[in-house]
Copies of this chain bind each other. A is one copy, B any other.
């Protein structure tokens, strides 16, 4: 086993055979953490982001939190019902890309695909940033290392995912359920305490200087609502991954979806209510001792040094890191669907020997790390980029379902639910585009455009490839003649082996020796005769001392002499015992390969000679 294989085995684990693939299916108890951590975890930052927008209009605007929370709750239910229908209509996996391609056509499908790919990357970036914030809310001394922590977390999650889906279920279940439990404990504690404590007024000093351009009005409400919509990202994950559930897949996936929506609703409502009742507002991240909104609640209700505070922070950080995992399960799967339709490189199609899409996982990790470094792992800076892509894909997915019902003649409540879902999510997408345009949504629009352009180019190339490669009925295998040209810089043991090899290939063998001084040519001729080599030795003069040019000229001449023949250039190469010793060998084969460029009918072969 090579060094690379060994290293891979340690990091990624032993391979899993295709016939065991079925065993990697997830029961509901593991399906929820794997596919729902994104959606569930967003309660850790969504309320905070809503309040940060409202604070722009001053303390008086904060009362809008609860109405916005109710609106978002309604939206959750609408989206939830829509996707429940999708799961049952597509028990093989109702990914947005598939549903919109199949029912609306390739273009809308590609738009949905591009939008989702971008949002998966943002899911990783936002969740990891927010998880890092949970850590330094508990340990303020770690704040300077936030980018480092964030990047390390992405790398770790990427590696875990390379190990395959089954372990993911086990590893991710405990923190997810701990998080859900902790948040419910916070909410219950807040409710109990509210019996003995009157509502608090919010503090007079807000994290952001109230901006007098902002007054309570439709634009402020829309913007705050847009901020809350990040909570819905990830809702589509279960529908995409129906096939990862144990049979009956659709039923299990549908139940898991409702479990998820129920938990999200409860937690989001509870957190918003707690913030409103106790007058808790976000801190500025620039403030020393910054704590997230959720950490402030933990501190307020249980005390900063309490063990429960650390459990809450730990579980929050972990579930947010695991939210990134949803994207690591979904991004490679979606890429592989798009690659199967030839809009992405075919390397993204291959399932690796752990039954995961390795290339997609690695690509996602790299892009997310880039974003984290560029945005200094700051949640609040990344939020404006987020959620637009998801709502574009929601809209297209529901529109696709509506088209399907119409086509199939289904005019009952199912068509109504899908159509209503499509309209509502379309309206939200427009709101997101308008309210976040300047802050970052423009960049997402550009990125979607760029991806669509890339998709088209890639598809065009693969179509070209297919036309070029296609075997037509007239195509025959025409016999070819082969000429072997053996390069002989010096005569040594490796050369002897290469001579024997060349002779085994074809009758028409010639040895080429490029000479810079006549003496070396004489000595090689003497050796050649002494060994009685049954192959003509051609001495090439090199007026300009290049070792490559004369060979190229000779090859060109040979091509001219017999344009139909294949020319095999054989280059003997010593392989040193240690890889770094290769720097002491001149690598003629590589130079020659580069220089040969687009000469047709020329094949270069390295005959390696291993030095003990």
Take A479-B500, A504-B566 as given contacts and tell me if A543 and B18 are in contact as well, using a CB distance cutoff of 8 Å. yes
- CB closest chain-B residue, reference A605: B605
With both beta carbons as reference points, the residue of chain B lying nearest to A458 in the complex is identified as: B584
- Residue ID in chain B nearest A546 by CB atoms: B353
- A458-482 vs B, Cβ < 8 Å mask (1 yes, 0 no): 1001101100111100011111111
14-48 of chain A: CB within 8 A of chain B: 15-19
B611 touches A574 (CB 8 A): no
Instruction: Tell whether, in the assembled complex, residue B505 and residue A493 are in contact, meaning their CB atoms are under 8 Å apart.
Output: no
A595: interface (CB < 8 Å) = yes
When distances are taken between beta carbons in the complex, the residues of chain B under 8 Å from A465 are 574, 584, 611
Cβ contacts under 8 Å, A490 to chain B: 469
**Does A612 have its Cβ within 8 Å of any Cβ on chain B?**
yes
A481 / chain B contacts, CB cutoff of 8 Å: 504
Instruction: Using known A-B contacts A353-B544, A464-B611, determine if residue A477 contacts B501 with beta carbons closer than 8 Å.
Output: no
Contact assessment for A479 and B493 in the assembled complex, using a CB-CB cutoff below 8 Å: no
A462 touches B584 (CB 8 A): yes
Which B residues are CB-close (under 8 A) to A549? 353
| A351 sits at the interface (CB 8 A) | yes
Tell me how far the C-beta of A478 lies from the nearest C-beta in chain B, rounded to whole angstroms.
Answer: 6
Contacts of A505 in B (CB 8 A): 482, 505-506, 568
Interface residues on A, range: 35 or more
**New contact pairs (13) apart from A471-B493, A600-B608, CB-CB < 8 Å:** A15-B546, A16-B544, A18-B543, A352-B545, A458-B584, A461-B576, A468-B493, A476-B531, A478-B500, A479-B500, A479-B504, A504-B566, A603-B607
How many identical chains are in the complex?
2
- The interface of chain A, by Cβ under 8 A from chain B, is 2, 4, 15-19, 345-347, 350-353, 355, 458, 461-462, 464-465, 468-471, 475-482, 490-494, 496-497, 499-501, 503-506, 516, 527, 531, 533, 543-547, 549, 566, 568, 574-576, 581, 583-584, 586, 594-595, 597-598, 600, 603-608, 610-612
Say yes or no: A527 contacts B350, CB within 8 Å.
no
Taking a contact as CB atoms closer than 8 A, the residue among B351, B496, B581 that contacts A477 in the complex is B496
The answer on a CB contact under 8 Å between A566 and B352 is no
